[in-house]
Structures are given as structure tokens and as C-alpha cells.
């Protein structure tokens, strides 16, 4: 079982020569977006070796560690007491203890507050090393089959329908692929707005990627509204909007000039 504490374990800091004690390293570790077996070998090694793991939600991280038989000290790193938590973790690093930063799923910083700890570690002179891993952002683009040459990400869409319409109106001439995280409650309003503002644009909705029972829906907004009926409230939903084709922009420009 993982231990949730704020104090370091009995593991001794690394020593370097006899004159000085090096500061610890902050490891930014990517974790699975669904299936726990997607944890990389390197990530597993780091999570086993660090003195403490800073987790967005300790219970989620405990479940992952238990699956892999990893025992570690975990401290929460959520939306509360940022300054206090950062101060404690920076103290660990200055004492020579390595720290791993993880989010509930995917890469820290992507729709996650981890950037604040990373910035603080850099300012304190601690090395920061990234351990790449799964990301719902790139996984959903690959699954959609849309172009990955240009990707726009927006993890926090407006809730009001009017503001959603304004948001999607700005994408009428966007050639890049747009990726959005959505709750099950916000999915239908998003599709309704897309059906109204961008009726001909292809949309992919990925539900619970890499998990048992994962589902993928693809079509225009109006079509998807007919297909998507019951999605469990705790599902992870990623929406991918294809970009407008450049020849379509040229065609619309010609038509507007001829009018």
C-alpha cells in the first residue's frame, strides 16, 4: 500500500563526494490515461526510487501504485494550499530528496496545476526531468485520424451556450485540429453548438480511451447527437474537432467575392 504523508521516507538522499549534498531532482512523470498497464518501464522505476510523490489526487495514484506493487510516500498536490504544498516539496528537494510529480492521468501540466511546482523547482535551482508517458491529447488526435500538423488544445470550454457559440465561431477558418476535454454533462451542449455553428465539420468523441469498454463516435455534430445517448457520469470524454480544409477556405473566399 502507498503511504500518504508529507514527510520523506527513511530513504537517504543521494551523496556526492564528501563536501556537498546535491539538491534533489523533480521528475515530471506521465501516468496512464486509462489502463494501468500503460505505465512505462522508466516511469515505474522512478516512482519506485523517489522519496516522495506529489499527486493531484492521492487515492487515484495509490490505486495505480498498488496495481504495480509500488510502495511510496504520497502527498496531495491539488487546488488547495498551493503555497504551503510547494514550500514543503521545495524543502524536500533542497534536502536532497527526489520528488515525482504526477497527475491523475496523463502528463502533468496538461489540464493540471503541476506547472506551479515545476516553476518553483526551477527557481530554487533543482533539476527538473520529464518522464514522458500517455496523454489523452495526443491519443485522441491519433484515434481521430485528423491531421496532427497543427493541434489546438482547450481544456476549459465555456459553459454558457452563447459563449460556446462564440468559441466555435472563432474556429470557422481554423485549419488545425482542436482537442477539448469535456464532462459527460457538457457533451450535449458542445455538440448542439457544433451542429449550429460548424454543421459540416467532422467531430470525434473518444470515451474512456484505453479502458475496458472504450467507445469512439465520429461524424458531424448533428449525427453524434443522435448516436450518443447514455454515457456513464464518471466517463473520461475527449472531443476532437477537425480543421477546415484549405481548399474550402479558398472556395468560400471565391464565392464571397462573386456575391
Confidence of residue 234 (pLDDT cuts 50, 70, 90): confident
What confidence tier does 4 reach under pLDDT thresholds 50, 70, 90? very low
DSSP 16: B
| pLDDT reported for residue 245 | 83
- Evaluate whether 227 touches 205 at the Cβ level (below 8 Å): no
Query: Cell digits for 254?
Result: 471565391
Q: Which residues contact 162 (CB under 8 A, 6 or more apart)?
A: none
Summarize pLDDT for 133-179 with one digit per residue, the tens. 999 999 999 999 999 999 999 988 999 999 999 999 999 999 999 99
Whether domain 136-249 has CATH 3.30.950.10: yes
User: Where is 239: in which H helix or E strand?
Assistant: strand 237-241
Pick 1 or 39 by higher pLDDT. 39
User: Is CATH 3.40.1010.10 the classification given to domain 3-12+22-131?
Assistant: yes
The helix (H) or strand (E) run that includes residue 27 is strand 26-29
Q: How far apart are the first and last CA of the chain?
A: 70
The label of the residue with cell 452563447 reads: 162
Residue 29 near residue 131, CB atoms below 8 Å: yes
Task: Tell which wins on pLDDT, 157 or 256.
Answer: 157
Mean pLDDT of 43-52: 98
Kindly report, residue by residue over 5-39, the tens digit of the pLDDT.
444 444 444 444 444 678 999 999 999 999 999 99
Crossing angle of helices 115-123/82-94, nearest 10°? 40
Enumerate the domain spans of the chain.
3-12+22-131, 136-249
For residue 9, the model assigns a pLDDT of: 42
Q: What pTM did the predictor assign? A: 0.83
Residue 159 CA to residue 6 CA, distance in Å, equals 36
Quote the CA–CA distance of 167 and 157 in Å, as a whole number. 8
Domains 3-12+22-131 and 136-249 share a fold: no
Given a cut of 90, whether residue 114 has pLDDT beyond it is no
Side by side, the strands of the sheet bearing 52-55 are 3-4, 73-76, 52-55, 99-102, 26-29, 128-131
Instruction: Answer whether residue 217 shows pLDDT above 70.
Output: yes
Q: Is a pLDDT exceeding 50 seen at residue 192?
A: yes
pLDDT of the residue at 111: 85
- pLDDT above 60: residue 94: yes
Calpha distance 70→47 (Å, rounded): 8
Give the mean pLDDT of the chain: 88
Amino acid at each position: 500500500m502507498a503511504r500518504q504523508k508529507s514527510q520523506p521516507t527513511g530513504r537517504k538522499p543521494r551523496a556526492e563526494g564528501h563536501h556537498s549534498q546535491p539538491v534533489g531532482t523533480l521528475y515530471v512523470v506521465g501516468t496512464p490515461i486509462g489502463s494501468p498497464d500503460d505505465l512505462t518501464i522508466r516511469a515505474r522505476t522512478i516512482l519506485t526510487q523517489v522519496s516522495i510523490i506529489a499527486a493531484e489526487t492521492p487515492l487515484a495514484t495509490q490505486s495505480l501504485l498498488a496495481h504495480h506493487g509500488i510502495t511510496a510516500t504520497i502527498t496531495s498536490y491539488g487546488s488547495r494550499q498551493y503555497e504551503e504544498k510547494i514550500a514543503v516539496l521545495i524543502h524536500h528537494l533542497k534536502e536532497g530528496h527526489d520528488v515525482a510529480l504526477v497527475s491523475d492521468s496523463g502528463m502533468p501540466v496538461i489540464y493540471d496545476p503541476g506547472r506551479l511546482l515545476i516553476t518553483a523547482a526551477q527557481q530554487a535551482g533543482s533539476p527538473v526531468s520529464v518522464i514522458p508517458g500517455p496523454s489523452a491529447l495526443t491519443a485522441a488526435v491519433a484515434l481521430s485520424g485528423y491531421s496532427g500538423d497543427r493541434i489546438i488544445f482547450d481544456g476549459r470550454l465555456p459553459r454558457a451556450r452563447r459563449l460556446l457559440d462564440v468559441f466555435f465561431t472563432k474556429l470557422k477558418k481554423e485549419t488545425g485540429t482542436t482537442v477539448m476535454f469535456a464532462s459527460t454533462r457538457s457533451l450535449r451542449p458542445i455538440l448542439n453548438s457544433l451542429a449550429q455553428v460548424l454543421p459540416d465539420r467532422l467531430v470525434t468523441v473518444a470515451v474512456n480511451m484505453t479502458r475496458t469498454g472504450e467507445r469512439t463516435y465520429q461524424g458531424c455534430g448533428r449525427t453524434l447527437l443522435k448516436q450518443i445517448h447514455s454515457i456513464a457520469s464518471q466517463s473520461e470524454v475527449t472531443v476532437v474537432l477537425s480543421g477546415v480544409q484549405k481548399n474550402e477556405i479558398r472556395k468560400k473566399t471565391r464565392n464571397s467575392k462573386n456575391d
